Amino acid sequence: MEALFDSTRLHGIDVSAFAEPADWGALREQSVTFAFIECARGTEKGRYFSEQWNRCAVAGIRKGAYQRLFSHAPGADQAEAFVAAFRGQSPRLAPDDLPPALDAEYDDDRDTMHTDRAGFTKLLRSWIAVVQRAFKRLPILYTSWRFWHEFMAEAEEFSRLPLWIAHYGVTKPQLPQAWHNYTFWQHAKEKCIEGFSPTVDLDIFNGSESDLSNFILGSRTGCLPSFIPPRNASNFQAPGPGR
């Protein structure tokens, strides 16, 4: 099996909550330091999210939740699915967990979208407003250069959200014009890790362990301005410093 991790960076994974839970301890042994777990896809809660989340915590891996957004459902409804995944005592979003993350990409491999750029922009704003109100965190934005360039026309209004960029098979990711740097980089897709049965995507954090702790601290409301949807969309700026 190919070597997937080295000791020079902070490595992580992201995993579908529709994949059956496996041995998270095996990931910790291979120097995985963080993980994003899908908690909902559209308005559907991840089937195994709670179990994945709790196993990740037991393994001592820093964890975060993400949601794949779709253009055919209202942003607020999709955000409520994210919030609902955390209702009750377990799982919960702890102070040292990663901020919530939204996944903005085409609806399918045929580049289908069921709304235009303005409609999807409104959807993103609604999701961010609901999720930040619920968790008091500034969310992370996952996307690719291709989607942001082609569909979002290099929109700058979300550029202060921390960027989780997807770009494979390169030594340095291509970023949308509005971002000068990335916070997380998904650099490989559907890889097999020894001892862990579902395939996972591989990620890198752009910084040190202390940088990651400071990033999490800075995502909390009180350290960064609150996200307030604009009255005038053309003047909208998301708050907080990006990386």
Domain regions of the chain by residue span = 10-235
Residue 31, sorted as left (phi over 0), alpha (psi -120 to 50) or beta, turns out to be: left
Torsion of CA 125, 131, 206, 191, to 10 degrees: -100
d(CA 194, CA 26) in angstroms, rounded, equals 7
Architecture of the domain defined by 10-235: Alpha-Beta Barrel (3.20)
What are the phi and psi torsion angles at 212 (to 5°)? Answer: -65, -45
Q: Beta-strand (E) ranges in the chain? A: 10-15, 32-41, 44-45, 62-68, 101-103, 140-144, 163-166, 184-193, 196-205
What are the phi and psi torsion angles at 202 (to 5°)? Answer: -105, 140
Q: And the tokens for 53?
A: 């989340």
d(CA 227, CA 124) in angstroms, rounded, equals 12
Tell whether the model's pLDDT for residue 91 goes beyond 90.
no
Reported pTM: 0.87
d(CA 190, CA 132) in angstroms, rounded, equals 30
User: How large is the average pLDDT for residues 155-182?
Assistant: 94
Could you tell me which of 29, 17, 127, 23 has the C-alpha nearest to residue 83?
127
Exposure string (b/e) for 91-116, b if CB count within 10 Å is 16 or more? bebeeebbbbbbbbbbbeeeeebeee
Tell whether the model's pLDDT for residue 115 goes beyond 90.
yes
pLDDT attached to residue 7: 66
Q: What is the pLDDT of residues 179-236, one digit of tens each?
A: 999 999 999 999 988 777 778 999 999 999 999 999 999 888 545 433 333 333 333 2
Coil/strand/helix, residue 229 = coil
Q: List, in order, residues 6 or more apart from 21 with CB less than 8 Å away.
A: 48, 51, 52, 55
Q: What is the pLDDT of residues 27-77, one digit of tens each?
A: 888 889 999 999 999 999 999 999 999 999 999 999 999 999 999 999 999
DSSP state of 234: G
